Homo-oligomer: A and B are copies of this chain.
Amino acid sequence: MSAYEKLEAHFRRAAHLDDAVGMLHWDMSTMMPAGGATARAEQMATLRGIRHHLIASPETSELLAAADAADGLNGWQSANLAEMRREHLHAAAVEDELIEALSKACSVCEMVWREARPESDFAKVLPSMQTVLDLYRQVAAAKAEAFGCSPYEALLDQWEPGGKTERIDAIFDDLAEFLPPFIDDVLAAQAKRPDPIAPDGPFPAEKQKALATKLMEVLGFEFERGRLDVSFHPFCGGATDDVRITTRWDEADFVEGLMAVLHETGHALYELGLPSDWRHQPVGKARGMTLHESQSLLMEMQACRTHEFLNFAAPLIRDAFDGAGPAFETENLYRHYTNVERSLIRTEADEVTYPTHVILRYRLERAMVAGELDLKDLPGAFNDGLEALLGIRPPDDRQGCLQDIHWYAGAWGYFPTYTLGAIAAAQFFDAAKRDVPDIVPGIAEGDFKPLVGWLRAHVHGLGSKLSTDELVAEATGKPLDQAVFKAHLTARYLG
């Protein structure tokens, strides 16, 4: 075996470990009884430690050096080798022990957060969160040195390879300037239209699940390679050829729960569409969270919150709940699905106000990682920040800095990818519609094949062969650019 082939075998084992951790995490979030939490944290920490050791090892380092000199790799293999090198740099920068300590600290903190959030008790989770942050700052400092970037960028790179704060600042500063007056205008225009009518419930969970399952199939989800289950915080996880999405059902209101499933389905289609020839290799993975969020938001925001899709879905919704009358008409559903509101909870926010939630969190987590914001001051800074950006103030921490799982479960540097993803989604949908005229008529008939076909060719099937910007540029003609996103918002909300 050549050095490169040995590396492929090596990274294949790492992928099996990643898959195993993915399943254990899914189970922890959906099935595990509370008593299993400590042992589960130990299982996951051990697997992550072994995975880390495998990639960080001197043997991997030597193989990478040997493969470097080797000739005859094709384009995919070269890209794979580059990804291997990036993963090795991430791993080798940090000791196994730190990785295991961090994994355990995150598991513990997530469990404490699950109690602290409903009680709105930030003080309860503060010590565990401090442990997580302290360990993350060690990781960030070590990786920053290895990559020659800032500590925050080193964390960002884990989610969005090559992500740079200068670039994000430019985009986010522009949006932070654009949005406040835009939101005013949208709310003024909306005030002149009738309010959406709430459909009468209750909407039993099993009926919502049956409807969601039907629409997941319409979008192209393959149930022989995945599942839909319930968790506290919706996510897309699982393993190779076994993609698990989750949601919560609110029996009083099906509207947002349904869209949450279509959002996660977008994530799942990316995973299910990755290049099967490169399964279990770094180049066969999703490129990063910006593209991942672009795929969920493309489905949820670009494709499914349209007249075309809602016109197709409305009779299915009526059938599912024995609904009738104006509340179940397309036009009323459209008003629900494009309703804009200054609201406190990020996951429930509309696409217009959403970036303000993200910009706030991005700025706060940068400050925390830089040591410029003490954790004890986070609740106040969060509330002040939201008030400044969106004009409303959380009355408690449950609706403030405790609302999201990310900082507690250890996803530092993740938040900006939501809005970068929204931007990419607008660019992809715009380009796809130009390339394939059948896409919009297809959506109107519940035929997502033209859209998913384009995504398979231009996004999913490329794995990590290109950088995010290269991929967006090849697919749409331009690298990541907020102009198309702003044009989309303007057309939909002030059109």
**B-binding residues in A (CB < 8 A):** 13, 16-17, 19-20, 23-24, 27, 31-36, 38-40, 42-43, 45-47, 50, 222-227, 238-242, 279-280
Contact = CB atoms under 8 A, between A and B. Distances in A.
Contacts of A47: 16-17, 20, 47
Given A31-B227, A35-B222, A35-B224, A16 B240 contact: no
Residue among A13, A23, A225 with the highest chain B CB neighbour number at 10 A: A23
B31 A43 contact: no
20 contacts: A16-B39, A16-B45, A17-B47, A19-B42, A20-B20, A20-B24, A20-B43, A20-B46, A23-B24, A27-B27, A31-B31, A32-B242, A33-B223, A33-B224, A33-B226, A33-B227, A34-B224, A36-B225, A36-B239, A47-B47
Contacts of A239: 36, 39-40, 43
Contacts of A241: 35-36, 38-39
Residue among A20, A226, A279 with the highest chain B CB neighbour number at 10 A: A20
Q: Please state the number of chain copies in the assembly.
A: 2
Contact of A242 (B23, B40, B242): B40
A13 B50 CA distance: 10
Contacts of A240: 36, 39
A16 B27 CA distance: 16
A16 B46 contact: yes
A428 B138 CA distance: 55
Contacts of A279: 39
Residue among A24, A31, A43, A226 with the highest chain B CB neighbour number at 10 A: A43
A19 B34 contact: no
B23 A27 contact: yes
A228 B41 CA distance: 22
A279 B39 CA distance: 10
- Main secondary structure on chain A at its contact with chain B? helix
B43 A19 contact: yes
A16 B43 contact: yes
Contacts of A39: 16, 19, 239-242, 279
Contacts of A16: 39, 42-43, 45-47
Contacts of A227: 31, 33
Contacts of A225: 33, 35-36
A81 B77 CA distance: 47
A46 B35 CA distance: 27
A240 B37 CA distance: 10
A16 B20 CA distance: 12
Contacts of A17: 43, 46-47
A214 B276 CA distance: 46
A387 to B, nearest CB: 41
Residue among A33, A34, A225, A238 with the highest chain B CB neighbour number at 10 A: A33
A8 to B, nearest CB: 14
Contacts of A42: 16, 19, 280
A242 B36 contact: yes
Contacts of A242: 32-33, 35-36, 39-40
Given A19-B43, A20-B24, A23-B23, 15 more contacts: A16-B43, A16-B45, A19-B39, A20-B46, A23-B27, A33-B225, A35-B224, A35-B226, A35-B242, A36-B241, A39-B239, A39-B242, A40-B242, A42-B280, A47-B47
A256 to B, nearest CB: 26
A478 B144 CA distance: 67
A284 to B, nearest CB: 12
A286 to B, nearest CB: 16
A226 B19 CA distance: 23
A18 B50 CA distance: 14
A279 B43 CA distance: 13
A50 B20 CA distance: 13
A349 to B, nearest CB: 32
A12 to B, nearest CB: 8
A213 to B, nearest CB: 13
A272 to B, nearest CB: 9
Contacts of A31: 31, 227
